Amino acid sequence: MTAVTEVDTGKCQTGEYRKMLESLPVFMNVSDDAFIEIMDFIAEIDKLKTISRQTLILDGTRYENDAEHSWHISVMAPLLIRYLDGEAPDLLKTIKMALIHDMVEIFAGDTYCYDKAASADKKEREEAAAKRLFGILPDAQAEEFLNLWHEFEEMKTIESAYAAALDKLQPLIHNYLTDGKSWKLHGVYAGEVRVRISQLRSVSLKLWEFADSIISMSVSKGYLKAEPIDKKMHKN
């Protein structure tokens, strides 16, 4: 909760890069707030490159960051669209969501999806962070990005459902192809991952079967833990 009260949800006008940009000769005689705001935002989001995820890059040498992950799922969007079962999504809108969906972590931090304690106030922290970050932009663009992010979070449209599916599928592939190192480190159960990828089923039976197959193979290889014993006992 601390993060919410600390966050300034008003228009952010004092970006660290803004001052450097304002000192450029091109801005000496003309005031062009919208252009400076956009450039300030472009500089601000560079921080996404420093936000580490829990997924290793495929050569196994280091964790990937949010910018790399956003790029990866954006490329996946046009490639996997043919496997969607329902109405075709607006691909541009899907990719825009994929590009910006993790930006709120610049001010809200990353929350590991299987960390229940940190997930508790995630929603509030991220809402404040979104308003602060996208608020750097001129109003019309701030509104577009904030709406796209809200749509992604609510997952009620085909575009957001598809973007969310890609967001879940990519780390699954990475965890499998890096011998489940990250899953093993956190002692993740197959059931937790199955719940997480269940949304894929409503978007694409093919992608869900693929994901489910990765989970089965990951259990048999020891990357993921099978169901906890006490859970099995409760069933009887």
Q: Which residues sit at the interface with a copy of itself, rule CB under 8 A?
A: 17, 20, 23-27, 35, 38-39, 41-43, 45-50, 57-59, 61, 64-65, 67-68, 70-72, 74-76, 78-80, 83, 91-92, 95-96, 99-100, 137, 141, 144, 170, 173-174, 176-177, 206, 209-210, 212-214, 216-217
In the bound complex, what is the minimum distance in angstroms from residue 188's beta carbon to a copy of itself? 19
**Residue nearer to a copy of itself on the CB measure, 100 or 197:** 100
Identify the residue whose tokens are 């969607």: 84
DSSP H or E run through 64: strand 63-65
- Cα(231)–Cα(190) distance, rounded to whole angstroms? 13
**What is the distance, to the nearest Å, from the Cα of residue 65 to the centroid of all Cα atoms in its chain?**
10
In the bound complex, what is the minimum distance in angstroms from residue 170's beta carbon to a copy of itself? 8
How long, in residues, is the chain?
Answer: 236
In the bound complex, what is the minimum distance in angstroms from residue 66's beta carbon to a copy of itself? 9
**Residue nearer to a copy of itself on the CB measure, 4 or 38:** 38
- Token pair, residue 211, equals 């994901």
- Token pair, residue 88, equals 């075709």
Identify the residue whose tokens are 């990353």: 110
AA identity, residue 196: R
**Residue nearer to a copy of itself on the CB measure, 42 or 120:** 42
Burial class (CB in 10 A: 0-12, 13-18, 19+), 228: exposed
Q: Cα-flanking dihedrals φ and ψ of residue 28, to 5°?
A: -60, -45
| SS3 of residue 143 by DSSP | helix
**Residue nearer to a copy of itself on the CB measure, 118 or 173:** 173
- Cα(71)–Cα(218) distance, rounded to whole angstroms? 25
**Residue nearer to a copy of itself on the CB measure, 41 or 152:** 41
In the bound complex, what is the minimum distance in angstroms from residue 78's beta carbon to a copy of itself? 7
In the bound complex, what is the minimum distance in angstroms from residue 92's beta carbon to a copy of itself? 4
**Residue nearer to a copy of itself on the CB measure, 124 or 179:** 179
In the bound complex, what is the minimum distance in angstroms from residue 1's beta carbon to a copy of itself? 28
| SS3 of residue 121 by DSSP | coil
